[in-house]
Amino acid sequence: MKDVKTVTLSESVLAETNQALRMYGERGYEGFVLWFGTIEDQCAYVERVYVPTQDSIQSEEGVGYLVSNNTLFELNKFLSETGLRMIAQVHSHPGRAYHSATDDQYAVVTIEGGLSLVVPYFARGPADIMQWAVYRLNHGFWNELSLRETRDLFYSKTTVTSGSSRSEFIARWKGRLKGKTC
């Protein structure tokens, strides 16, 4: 992930992510999803939204979620079997979007260059990355990307044909990246 310069995803990935997080938020909980896909050269292609089993926490100290060791084991098994890669983790906050100390310490994404996105207000707003906080792991620290860095990193397409093969998916995206590095 550290060499990835472009992350390509569909509007349906954004909508599915927002919908999953909003579902948790409607009950007063933070939600958590993962984006899986492929990496080729300096491009990551988000192909799947995964909502892991999670235990929601709500107390006087705040809200959060826990992902069990068994869920992490199943996640790693799935990635190994499919050959997909973890592109990003995405979770919601009840208020503004930022990476808390807990987010830093208990991130599921731990690879250099990994991405962590935080969606504000329990995902009640639009499915718009430019309104989310985007962080990238650099030398063991989560650094927030500026709006310009976020705009330069992410490329989205409004429609994706389901049932396409991986090579068709990549070829279709590469043909639409005008001016990007991939």
Give the start-to-end residue ranges of the domains of the chain: 6-174
Inform me whether the pLDDT recorded for 162 exceeds 50: no
pLDDT at position 9 is: 93
pLDDT at position 157 is: 59
Q: Is the model's pTM score more than 0.85?
A: no
CATH number for the region 6-174 comes to 3.40.140.10
- The proportion of the chain whose per-residue pLDDT surpasses 70, expressed as a percent, equals 84
The pairing of beta strand 115-119 with beta strand 133-138: antiparallel
- What are the structure tokens assigned to 132, written together? 């989310």
Mean pLDDT of the chain: 86
pLDDT at position 163 is: 44
pLDDT at position 59 is: 67
Inform me whether the pLDDT recorded for 100 exceeds 50: yes
pLDDT at position 55 is: 75
Q: What mean pLDDT do residues 178-182 have?
A: 52
Backbone Cα Rg of the chain: 16
**How far is Cα 58 from Cα 105, in angstroms, rounded to an integer?**
19
Q: Cβ contacts of residue 119 below 8 Å, gap of 6+? A: 17, 18, 21, 90, 91, 92, 93, 97, 125, 132
pLDDT at position 68 is: 83
Find, among 125, 126, 103, 124, the residue nearest to 27 by Cα: 124
